[in-house]
Structure 1
Amino acid sequence: MPVHNTKNIFFSALLTLFTALSTAQVKVGQLLTENRINPQGLDIQQPRFSWQLEGKEQNLTQTAYEIKVLTGGKPVWNSGQVKSAQSVQVAYRGPALQPGTTYEWTVRVWDNAGRVSTFSTPAFFTTGLQTTAAWKARWIEPGYQEDTLLRPCPIFRKQFTLTRKPVKAVVYITCHGVYEAQLNGAKVGDAYLTPGWTSYPKRLQYQMYDMGKTLKQGENTLEVMLGNGWYRGVLGFEALENTYGKTLALLLQAELTYSDGTKEYITTDNSWQSTTGQVQYADFYNGDIIDYRRERAPWGAVKEMDYGFGNLIATVNEPVRKQESFTPVKIWRTPKGELLADFGQNLVGWVTVKVSGQAGDTIRLDHGEVLDKYGEFYRTNLRSARCSDMYVLKGNGTETLEPVFTFHGFRYVRLKGFRETVKPEQLTASVIYSDLPQTGSFECSNPLLNQLHHNIVWSQNGNFVDLPTDCPQRDERMGWMGDAQLFSRTAAFNRNVNSFFTRWLADIAADQFADGSVPVVVPNILGGFGGVAGWSDAATIIPWNMFEVYGDSQLLAKQYPSMKAWIDFMDKNSTGYMRKETFQYGDWLSFTTEGAAEVNKSAVTDISLIVQAYYACSVQLLVKAATVLGHKEDSIRYTQLLQQVKELFVREYVTPGGRLVSATQTAYVLALHFDLLPEAQRAVAAKRLVDNIRSYKNHITTGLLGTSYICHVLSRFGYTDVAYDLLLQETYPSWLYPVKMGATTIWERWDGIKTDSSFQHWHMNSFNHYAYGAIGDWMYRVMAGIGTDSVGGEGYKKIVIKPHPGGGLDYVKAALQTYYGKVAVHWKRVNGTIKMEVAIPANTTATVYVPQRDGITYEKVSVGSGHYQFESK
């Protein structure tokens, strides 16, 4: 690994020599289809392929590629040698793909040294049904009279006999509700909470599974249990039920292919049977009630229903799966005598219990996030959500108790009904979240910042359960748009969220109102209000963020009509380029003081200023999208609109001396981050922002909308030291205050638990709420310095490395797995100098800014792929 003195340029000769001496064979690996590994059920006629070049030599690039696609060993398409450096999202260009078919593909590449790789290990993908006409199944509902109080989970059954075993067997499943399928007693697939939560009337996902290994010659039994889920379970603040319908229904189609090419179908129809069993009640908010004594009721008929197939879509994103597991770090009795288990981490999932007892014994598990100041179990902040699982024992030795159709946000569990001492090994907390590949890592010399990063990651885990939610525990758990857009860049560092947001953005477009207004939650269960600044703007902000990170112009093109409709709504609902007054959230949860003595220190930002700032932000992003996508007329039109919106902002909210009429941190942050001020006034505004921060003794006062940008603005205008002062602040309000108070996830409020150990208002006090975790983006992009030159829309094809040492830190170490490979930075202070190690993946280039000893100036170096060491002198 060469060491480079940034005052000498001779290193380029060393790199050339190093490359010339290298004779290693270039390899290809990490194959993805539509951003996923070997996906099943694709309903895309031109799926996109991505791969990575693998080689240790420096300046390794691709000059050409060749892709082969086969099915059943027979060639389908060969791209031939294509002279191109593109290795990410290369579209299939062959004949039409057939439904329900498995394809394999492989690729080889040529590099800039004239070498050609061998063909890669094949990757696979399987197409879905592709058209509604391919559905042979019928929707079915239970034929029995349902108990309308508890509504036990219906079970559907089909028994069938196979005289021979098929060479291929797949099944497509969806439902109204959520489902668990079993074939011959074994779970079908490893996903949970399927088919997920989408805008059901317009978009209902189905999943595809391989069931060939579980099928057998002779008698087979296929069973599917349905739960209420998001479809008809309790949802929202008012605990409403039946949001999408009153009854649960199943749609299933299995396709068996035999060695002679013939096919057989097992489909839901009136030949199936239905009953109920042990799961007497199942709800996301309230939990499950399971009676293990109960035998299944007699099997009865089902009803065929004509719900149609027009809203069915293949699954786009990664499923929810079981992830980590925890055993209690402590089991004890509180001063009140309640038996509690502490799992040491605020998490999302459920607890599995192993216990012995007598028939009829009831075991109850109540879930909560925190203890009160007296060490007692606290659940008031869950509001109306019961968050309890109840089990009635069968009484036949050791029994395993586990919920089926619920999940909870918790760290602590209250245990009731146990006859004997409970040991830690009897309890296992299973964590669930969408199975998104981990991409980022961060570490530094400050343990509190490392815990902060841990908390950010775990809040993302707990709130990325099929869609981005605000919180995972109380009677809410909705896809709040403001939280998601503010956190989206941080989310993309921690995990690969390309497909995750692709699906959710499609639901945003589906739920967008006819006039172009955008709801504040998606799927929209709150009814007919939208148009809220900072929340509805997720429709423009997230697509652009995903484009910057992943270079996904296809996603940008899909969302463009939605983006444009939102801008046109704001334009039509403006007077003189000023948006009309409507309901707004403003800078939600900003700092406010209590009592008249400090009333002037409250940091409430003028709502109309916020609305106008986000108006400009969204128009600016639409202009960028129009330029990328080649919509020249739109680019011209909306550039003119942007100019008018910005001019109005200056006229209404900025004095000639550069003072904002609402002189809060958030006001200055939005004005500067969205480039709303004339160039001549920006430095003055930045200084006023710093003065404001200093007046609060280096405390942050922003709410949701200002928090994600404040440190970026400070660094951009030369105040990285002030950004570090904010980040390292340990007293309220600050990022590290909850860390010092023992938090293991991000809190909804800066002071969810106050300094006297009392709580903020119970009505809105989640302890797992990722929005303030948006600071993670600054930690990766500024502290560590991992960025991208996204002007060309190629994601991390062109990398920028520009760390900002500061805050008294001895080192920062971070890495990001991109579609091209791993980008890594490790800077450290050694005897008054700054040493830096950098890793750049193959087929990319990077501009590295090496920080000098003063921590302010930089030496700029352009490099290709490889590992490098730099040292300031």
Structure 2
Amino acid sequence: MSHAWTVRFVAPDADFEGAPLLRRRIRLDQGHGAPTSAVLRWTALGVGEVWLGGRPVTADVLTPGWSSYEWRLRYAEHDVTSLLDGEETVLAVALGNGWYRAPLGWGTRTAPYGEELAVLAELTVTFADGHQQVVGSDRDWRAGPSAVTANHLYDGQSIDARRHDPRWTEVSYDDSSWAGVHEVDVDRAVLQPYVAPPVRRISERVPERVWTSPAGRTLVDFGQNLVGWVRVSVAGEAGRTVTLRHAEVLEHGELGTRPLRGALATDRFTLSGGEDVFEPTFTFHGFRYVEVDGWPGDPDGLVEGLTAVVVSSDLRRTAHFACSDELVSQLHENVVWGMRGNFLDVPTDCPQRDERLGWTGDIAAFAPTAVRLFDVQDFLRDWLRDLALEQSHHDGMVPYVVPDLIKRMPNPPDFQPVDTTAVWSDAAVWVPWAVWQAHGDPVVLAETFDSMTAHVRRVRSKLSPNGLWDTGFQFGDWLDPDAPPEDAARAKADPSVVATACAARSARLVAEAAAVLGRTEEQAELATLAEELRASFNREYVHDGRVHSDCTTVYSLAIVFDLLDAVDREAAGTRLAELVAESGFRISTGFAGTPFIADALTSTGHVEEAYRLLLQRECPSWLYPVTMGATTIWERWDSMMPDGTINVGEMTSFNHYALGAVADWLHRVVGGLAALEPGYARLLVAPRPGGGLSWAESALDTPHGRARVRWDREGDRLTVQVTVPEGTSALVQLPGAPDQELAAGTHTVTATV
């Protein structure tokens, strides 16, 4: 429930180069005893940081993040009792453009939401005798310039240390020369408290290497593709500017900036002449390498002077995986790093180029992996609120990105008209279902059920008389490795086969959600729709176990989505294994098929084929990027070519989590730890050793406690160690052994394989 606000938004009378400082002196009421509590609630049009009494209120950054501002603007709430000291204090806020005002998108950019930065802040102080004093944003605030001379999420931030006066947050500071403020008319009904965790500094990294490129440029390698910024500690002559440009990769020994497209990804720091520390907290970059220009003194000083600050939503990691193949273990860590970088307030596609949008297809594909690797329940519940808001204002259509920037772009993308599309729009169903499966809390289904049903009913309205979803634009099996670089949608899989399969799956999942919630009418309605779609799929697309367009993706979807009868399922599994072998055990799937192909193989008895696909090192494969030194998941299987050149396609990112969806399979099938019931109330321990692996381990912090499976293989003997959390049980299924039921505790079981 939202707060009953007594204050209003205020904006500075001057823009101050897009980074104003605002402050208000506050005299605490006297005669009521000492303050016993103080709560600050605040938000902004833009992003901001806040101080009280000269001290930061929080470690959060980029608050209030990015939501569908038209209908929902989040506010933060902090206990600031410890920051009250004395009769007078100062409430101070620094503002930046953030997502609200900085031009976003690719091509011709636009400031998507508004032209004016503003703040809303309310401080409530309770005294010993129960008296309350409420003070906050009003016309008594003052506004002045900061040391920030430019700030943009894509292009970077410029800071002039000569303009910085650290006293500006203190009572003694003279703000008489500052400008005033004016009230801004904002509907406070859109204000909602945070559900998601805030964005914070997560960790730091120091340079691993500093060197001079063939062109004579100074380059720094932080050893990991990460998301955040570089904190710079430097001393030099006043007025000197140190420039940092960021990129994920090198090409021909130089910074590989072409994948950034229109994003400049450049920070500029002008020195004061003393000891300066710069931290550009109104931007973020996706990078591993930094090109430095203007550094005073010896380049060796960069090792001490630069620190990469990793920034992400503050998510608790819940899963760990490792195995005897170091490349596979590194693949898993690459998935973790890719998710961490792209879960920055919104589940973005990529963090580096002029895009960084909440593409629904990416998270639809990746959701089962996301809910395992980190506790993202509240993060995704928050984002799903924006999805539902966008959808409700688009006649049930789930947009391609949430928040929906595309509707505001002056030059709309080629894929027009924007409409409901498989996988992408299915995020309305697949994401909450994944959260429910991981946590076992039906609140996410209750919150999203109207959105889920609206999506499936809209899909029903798109079906042809033959019962197929074969009309309208589809992304299909996006980024099929056999598609040309300039046309990522030209996949082997017929897009109508993909769409109809996805429609059947979504209808079935919403029917199951209705059953959980006791919505019997909707359960019957949507179960009927799911069966009708299944029947249409088989009638039109399945003939003697062959699925129309006869490629790995269509078989994978048909098998995993349970669209086939027993005979056709067996034939489809055999055909899928044949196609995988014909491809030389190289990846032949894109966004639609990749999350499901390994499961399709293993569930139809083709475990060794799945392992050969996993362990393939030649391009395209999961391990090829690892052999090329990747530390995150790439957007394309061949984002970098074997000779070290960058893929010629305009759309090439080196930090895209979607194709890392295989990590969920690594945990469930290779590691052997899965859920038999939502929320891991009952576990399935069913490792499927193969591929020459001698051991594997999967650990997960379930809602009931830590679960762990570790298996070791010596010859034909398989030894499995299992930890079952209190209050749960586990069904153990090992090759060639009868099923076992384990109670809570630590157990060792063996089998002959």
TM-score normalized by the length of structure 1? 0.81
1:830 and 2:714 correspond: yes
| Structure-2 change in CA distance of 1:486 and 1:674 (3 Å) | same
CA contact (8 A) 1:603 1:664 kept: no
For residues 513-549 of structure 1, what are the alpha-carbon distances to aligned partners after superposition, in whole Å with 9 as ceiling and x for unaligned? 4421110110011118230111000001111111111
Match of 2:23 in 1: 157
Distance 2:156 2:223 in 1: 22
Distance 2:382 2:689 in 1: 38
Match of 1:209 in 2: 78
1:552 and 2:441 correspond: yes
| Structure-2 change in CA distance of 1:286 and 1:570 (3 Å) | same
Match of 2:506 in 1: 618
1:392 and 2:281 correspond: no
Paired residues, number: 722
SS of 1:754 mapped into structure 2: coil
Distance 1:342 1:620 in 2: 48
For residues 312-334 of structure 1, what are the alpha-carbon distances to aligned partners after superposition, in whole Å with 9 as ceiling and x for unaligned? 11110111111110010000000
Q: 1:590 aligns with which of 473, 477, 480?
A: 480
| Structure-2 change in CA distance of 1:502 and 1:594 (3 Å) | closer
How far 1:594 moved relative to its partner? 7.2
Distance 2:156 2:483 in 1: 38
For residues 249-278 of structure 1, what are the alpha-carbon distances to aligned partners after superposition, in whole Å with 9 as ceiling and x for unaligned? 110000001111101112101111112221
Distance 1:278 1:858 in 2: 69
Match of 1:686 in 2: 573
Amino acid at match of 1:136: T
Distance 2:458 2:27 in 1: 58
How far 1:184 moved relative to its partner? 2.4
Match of 1:639 in 2: 527
Match of 1:481 in 2: 360
Match of 2:206 in 1: 327
Match of 1:449 in 2: 328
Distance 2:530 2:267 in 1: 53
Match of 1:797 in 2: 681
Distance 2:632 2:334 in 1: 4
SS of 1:293 mapped into structure 2: helix
How far 1:704 moved relative to its partner? 0.8
SS of 1:354 mapped into structure 2: strand
SS of 1:813 mapped into structure 2: strand
How far 1:719 moved relative to its partner? 0.7
Q: 1:846 aligns with which of 730, 743, 753?
A: 730
Distance 1:456 1:463 in 2: 11
Amino acid at match of 1:289: S
CA contact (8 A) 2:121 2:137 kept: yes
Q: How does 1:607-756 map to 2 (within 5 A)?
A: 607-655=495-543, 657-756=544-643
Match of 1:381 in 2: 259
Q: 2:185 aligns with which of 306, 316, 337?
A: 306
SS of 2:226 mapped into structure 1: strand
Distance 1:165 1:389 in 2: 45
Amino acid at match of 2:497: L
Distance 2:711 2:668 in 1: 13
Match of 1:503 in 2: 382
Distance 1:702 1:580 in 2: 20
| Structure-2 change in CA distance of 1:817 and 1:331 (3 Å) | same
Match of 2:6 in 1: 136
1:176 and 2:56 correspond: no
Distance 2:314 2:484 in 1: 43
Match of 1:780 in 2: 667
Amino acid at match of 1:265: V
| Structure-2 change in CA distance of 1:872 and 1:755 (3 Å) | same
How far 1:470 moved relative to its partner? 0.4
Distance 2:504 2:727 in 1: 36
How far 1:686 moved relative to its partner? 0.8
SS of 1:858 mapped into structure 2: coil
How far 1:635 moved relative to its partner? 1.5
Distance 1:593 1:205 in 2: 41
For residues 758-795 of structure 1, what are the alpha-carbon distances to aligned partners after superposition, in whole Å with 9 as ceiling and x for unaligned? 211251110010011100000001111111112xx4x1
Amino acid at match of 1:863: L
SS of 2:188 mapped into structure 1: coil
How far 1:239 moved relative to its partner? 4.8
Q: Considering only aligned residues, what root-mean-square deviation do their CA atoms show, in Å?
A: 1.6
1:222 and 2:91 correspond: yes
CA contact (8 A) 1:327 1:428 kept: yes
Match of 2:471 in 1: 581
CA contact (8 A) 2:36 2:127 kept: yes
1:515 and 2:404 correspond: no
Match of 1:231 in 2: 100
How far 1:376 moved relative to its partner? 1.3
CA contact (8 A) 2:161 2:276 kept: no
Q: 2:67 aligns with which of 171, 189, 198?
A: 198
Mark the structure with the bigger radius of gyration: 1
Distance 1:305 1:256 in 2: 25
Amino acid at match of 1:579: W
| Structure-2 change in CA distance of 1:762 and 1:399 (3 Å) | farther
Distance 2:470 2:395 in 1: 15
How far 1:306 moved relative to its partner? 2.4
CA contact (8 A) 2:432 2:444 kept: yes
How far 1:308 moved relative to its partner? 2.4
How far 1:579 moved relative to its partner? 2.7
Distance 2:616 2:120 in 1: 54
Structure 1 runs not aligned, ≥5 long: 1-42, 44-129, 596-601
Distance 1:135 1:377 in 2: 49
How far 1:234 moved relative to its partner? 2.1
CA contact (8 A) 2:633 2:656 kept: yes
For residues 351-396 of structure 1, what are the alpha-carbon distances to aligned partners after superposition, in whole Å with 9 as ceiling and x for unaligned? 0111111111011000001011x21111010000000100111112
Match of 1:100 in 2: none
| Structure-2 change in CA distance of 1:710 and 1:514 (3 Å) | same
Distance 1:284 1:295 in 2: 22
Amino acid at match of 1:834: L
Q: 2:460 aligns with which of 571, 574, 582?
A: 571
CA contact (8 A) 2:476 2:491 kept: no
Distance 1:670 1:223 in 2: 54
Q: 2:287 aligns with which of 392, 396, 410?
A: 410
Distance 1:637 1:768 in 2: 41
Distance 1:635 1:278 in 2: 58
Match of 2:405 in 1: 525
Amino acid at match of 2:246: H
How far 1:567 moved relative to its partner? 1.0
SS of 1:453 mapped into structure 2: helix
Amino acid at match of 2:265: C
Q: How does 1:237-256 map to 2 (within 5 A)?
A: 237-256=106-125
How far 1:419 moved relative to its partner? 2.3
CA contact (8 A) 2:501 2:563 kept: yes
Match of 2:494 in 1: 606
SS of 2:230 mapped into structure 1: strand
SS of 1:724 mapped into structure 2: helix
Amino acid at match of 1:589: L
SS of 2:81 mapped into structure 1: coil
CA contact (8 A) 1:152 1:276 kept: no
Amino acid at match of 1:614: C
How far 1:199 moved relative to its partner? 0.7
How far 1:185 moved relative to its partner? 2.3
Match of 1:73 in 2: none
